[in-house]
Amino acid sequence: MPLARLVYASLTPAPVSSRDLMEILEVARFRNRKDGITGLLCYADRRFLQVLEGPPEAVCETFYRLLRDSRHCEIRLLDFRHTANRLFDDWTMGFAGVAEITNDIVAKHSPSGDFVGFASAPDAALAFVTELGPLLSSGDLAPAA
């Protein structure tokens, strides 16, 4: 089955609470399970960085819905490619927040040394999520309460 991976970055109009993150993840995981999508959602500094992977049409349709979602703005498509393997195949949507996104791993990859820098550095963003994924414990993590 053909697979695609999409990475985008976005900004939130205001800080997002754990409760709001839980709600986003609950809907995302429900839909993604049906659509064959896996991935990772990162949230820090009022920014999202998300990886969506799965059948190319399903990945695109999910991204089109995300583009219309007013909970974030300034959505920047960083990468879209066909791929043979999923990076996050046991997560309908994993989550990484302030507890997981450490200064060390951000500084290692971000050209500006902060999470914001990934929004304008596609290669750095991809390297960051690729390294971050395996460091997280397996499964659909929820944001810390």
Site for ligand FMN, rule CB under 6 A: 24, 27-28, 31-32, 41, 48, 50, 52, 62, 65-66, 69, 71-72, 93
**Closest separation between CB of residue 70 and ligand FMN, Å?**
9
Going by C-alpha positions, the residue among 142, 140, 109 that lies closest to residue 127 is: 109
Closest to ligand FMN by CB, 41 or 106 = 41
Task: Give the span between the Cα atoms of 135 and 47, in whole angstroms.
Answer: 20
**Closest separation between CB of residue 127 and ligand FMN, Å?**
21
Closest to ligand FMN by CB, 48 or 115 = 48
Closest to ligand FMN by CB, 32 or 110 = 32
**Closest separation between CB of residue 89 and ligand FMN, Å?**
15
Closest to ligand FMN by CB, 73 or 144 = 73
- Stated as kind and residue range, the H or E segment containing 39 is strand 38-44
Task: Give the span between the Cα atoms of 125 and 21, in whole angstroms.
Answer: 21
Q: What is the DSSP string of 69-116?
A: -TT-EEEEEEEEEEESS-SSTT-SSEEE-TTTS-HHHHHHH-TTSSGG
Closest to ligand FMN by CB, 69 or 131 = 69
**Closest separation between CB of residue 107 and ligand FMN, Å?**
24
Task: Give the span between the Cα atoms of 79 and 13, in whole angstroms.
Answer: 23
- Token pair for residue 94? 């994993």
**Closest separation between CB of residue 14 and ligand FMN, Å?**
13
